[in-house]
Structure 1
Amino acid sequence: MAFTKVNDISLHYSDDGPTDGPALVFANSLGTDLHLWDPILPHLPEGLRIIRYDKRGHGQSEVPPPPYSMGALVSDAEALLDHLNIRDCVFVGLSVGGMIGQGLAVKRLDQVRALVLSNTAAKIGTKELWQTRIDAVRAGGIASIADAVLDRWFSRDFLASPELGTWREMLISQSDEGYIGCSAAIAGTDFYTPTSGLRLPLLGIAGSEDGATPPDLVRETVDLVPGSEFQLMRRAGHLPCVEQPEAYAKHLMGFLRQIGHI
């Protein structure tokens, strides 16, 4: 684990594997940190350069005062990849991480050769929905909305499993200010037009029981890019990399092989 200064904030990241290996960059969802991807790591082949990071306001990264803009979140990712001298990566973004991936691909095609858009969309929710969420966190902290968030995140089976507690702890350990800041960034984002102009290999992944970004919403965004692929993971929710890590990694590796990344 390491830190670097980007855009006047300290960003926490991990950079694992050979520096000359094919780069795979992971960006996680609202209310999670880079450990969201821990379950799939044992299922990835050796030789990849795997970059994970905590977006601003999350994990061990700095928490600047909210609100944040999507442009700032994209710029943070861009600066981190420049710092690491990453070009031609496959960018895997889940939820707000997928929005960051869309924005980065539009801005820096030299950095991103292919996208995996997981449980995300060009536009998620409405400004009113996000303002209600922001107001709730301001009033009672993330803990006050945790149960409702977990219901959207996970399938019925996983909600009844003992593993749920680990992910609840991750959620409520995040900064209230960081959660509010990134919620504001999502609220202000509509990437339908820029994403529809992308021409690059793209895999979309959705969970059949996703209460945050339902499959039809994910598919609508994926279909904006000609030649894209779509995978529906059944009996999985908003975080299929947690619920079905082996199957998730299999979809990911199949895509990487198909595009010649590995």
Structure 2
Amino acid sequence: MSPLHYLVTRDNARIAYRLDGAAERPLLVLSNSIGTDLHMWDGQIAALSEHFRVLRYDARGHGASSVPPGPYSLTRLGQDVVELLDSLGVQRAHFLGLSLGGFVGQWLALNAPQRIERLVLANTSAWLGPQEQWDARIAEVLAAADMRGTAATFLANWFPALWLETSRPEVEPFRATLLATNRHGLAGSFAAVQEADLRSALHDVRLPTLVVAGQFDTVTAASHSELIAQAIPGARVFTLPAVHLSNVEFPREFEGAVLDFLLAP
């Protein structure tokens, strides 16, 4: 496994990241969902690193990154990526983000488009309102005695019921990550999604964009992917018969679609 590196951001957060693939290849940034860490992409590294230098990182509040006091803003999460690129001396990179990572990708497309070559937005949304519903989720996470209930809710939203009933081995690393996740990191990240409404702004995006949807996604419905693709000129949708973590449920199909898009002339 590639070594873990750290970046200290301008606001003193510590962001953990890994690099895989030859240094001379184009850079591809992978951005994780709420409640996961950079290991959510473990299954994709072999295929993606054949063609790219792959940068994956733990979003602030997750994994080996620090847990600054919340709430977090989407702007700050986007700036973490810009600072990572700056620290590596990379002017432009491809970007693949899932769920919260997809929100970050949309922010970058709108606020730092000169840094992004091609954009993949997976199982995400431009708006997950109304804002009031997030107040209850944030309060519930912060008040819970432990992470077991939160973990069960997340897993039920991420994977097919049959996977949970039959204890599929793919699920267990995600359960362990959730149980170890700092509740303040979750709550801070919920706040970033709570404030985000990018629907009208997406018409200004001018980057080549692929949107990956999960047909059975109950978190970021396939209709949300369709709306993003309709808003971004030239964007297209690739739909998998998946729930929320489509890269875990259908890894080969997911990788194939991403590589076809990123490697197209």
TM-score by length of 2: 0.93
1: CA distance between counterparts of 2:66 and 2:196? 22
2:153 match: 148
Letter in 2 for 1:228: A
- CA 1:27 to 1:45, structure 2 compared with 1: closer, same or farther past 3 Å? closer
| 2:237 alignment counterpart | 230
* Match status 1:184 vs 2:191: yes
Distance apart, 1:171 and its partner CA: 1.5
The equivalent residue for 1:81 is 85
Identity %: 36
Which of these residues, 10, 24, 29, is aligned with residue 28 of structure 2? 24
In structure 2, distance between residues paired with 1:157 and 1:214: 20
- Verify: 1:157 aligned to 2:168, yes or no: no
2:59 equivalent in structure 1: 55
TM-score calculated relative to the size of structure 1: 0.94
Distance in 2 (alpha carbons) for counterparts of 1:54 and 1:45:
18
Q: Distance in 1 between matches of 2:51 and 2:27?
A: 9
Report if aligned partners of 1:43, 1:245 keep a CA contact under 8 Å in 2. no
Does the CA contact (< 8 Å) of 1:117 and 1:222 recur in 2?
A: no
Uncovered stretches (5+) of structure 1, i.e. residues with no partner: none
Which SS does the other structure have where 2:200 is aligned? helix
- Counterpart Cα distance in 2 of 1:52 and 1:194: 27
Q: Which amino acid aligns with 2:37?
A: D
Q: AA paired with 1:176?
A: R
Q: Does structure 1 conserve the Cα–Cα contact (< 8 Å) formed by 2:126 and 2:199?
A: yes
**Aligned-pair CA distance for 1:182:** 0.5
Match of 1:9 among 4, 13, 28: 13
Partner of residue 248, structure 1: 254
Which residue identity is paired with 1:26?
L
Report the Cα offset of residue 80 of structure 1: 0.9
Contact 2:21 2:49 in 1 (8 A): no
4+ long deviations beyond 3 Å: none
* Deviations 1:134-170 (CA, angstroms, capped at 9, x unpaired): 1111111432222122111112332234222221111
| Equivalent pairs, count | 258
Superposed displacement of residue 82, structure 1: 1.0
